[in-house]
Amino acid sequence: MKQRLLFLGPPGAGKGTQAQRLAFNNHLLHLSTGDMLRAEVLAGTELGQQAEAVMARGELVSDALVLAIVRHRLEDHSQGWLLDGFPRNLGQATALDSLLLQLNQSIELVILMELPDVVLSQRMLSRGRADDTEAVIRHRLEVYHQQTAPLINHYQQLGLLMSVDAAGTVDEVSANIRLSLGT
């Protein structure tokens, strides 16, 4: 089993859902930038206050803020990890590459979860998180296609990308991932 993985894909594809399972079953550190940002918001920290309005609009929190959180967690952890929802643009991907170089680590696999926009919207609407209104969902999908989707090509060129069909039940998608990983 690979030890250093990224989960890439549009909002609502189930990255968080699947990353949590895979990390738990394989004793990997699960780092979700979305969860970490929501925890900061809940705790009312300065960082959380800065992130709250940006998340509510369906936009990306600043690279510097997100990087600070990830750096802190990776520096303290020398074993396997699974990054979920990070990087989300080319700037974050480049920053991650240099951080990993400093830590003498490298990405072993990028799992891309693929699902049509219409299904993504339905999933997010039924999830009902504060940032899951119709207008915000539409904007998050636009931001994904503009800023995050270029990472697909980036990791494909590096020979790290593995695509997985994210349609079906949670168990079916988990099975797709396990099959692709050969575990």
Residues near ligand B4P (CB under 6 A): 11-17, 32-34, 37, 54-55, 58, 60-61, 66, 85-86, 88, 92, 123, 127, 140, 168-170, 173
Nearer of residues 55 and 111 to ligand B4P, judged by Cβ: 55
Nearer of residues 103 and 170 to ligand B4P, judged by Cβ: 170
Q: How far is the CB of 17 from ligand B4P (least distance, A)?
A: 4
Nearer of residues 116 and 168 to ligand B4P, judged by Cβ: 168
Nearer of residues 37 and 160 to ligand B4P, judged by Cβ: 37
Q: How far is the CB of 81 from ligand B4P (least distance, A)?
A: 15
Q: How far is the CB of 92 from ligand B4P (least distance, A)?
A: 6
Q: How far is the CB of 64 from ligand B4P (least distance, A)?
A: 10
- Give the CA distances from residue 87 to residues 2, 60, 110, 146, in Å, rounded to whole numbers and listed in that order: 19, 11, 11, 14
Nearer of residues 160 and 173 to ligand B4P, judged by Cβ: 173
The beta-carbon contacts of 158-164 under 8 Å, at least 24 apart in sequence, are: 160/107, 160/108, 160/109, 160/110, 161/8, 161/110, 161/112, 162/109, 162/110, 162/111, 162/112, 163/112, 163/114, 164/111, 164/112, 164/113, 164/114
Paired residues of 43 in beta bridges: none
Q: How far is the CB of 112 from ligand B4P (least distance, A)?
A: 12
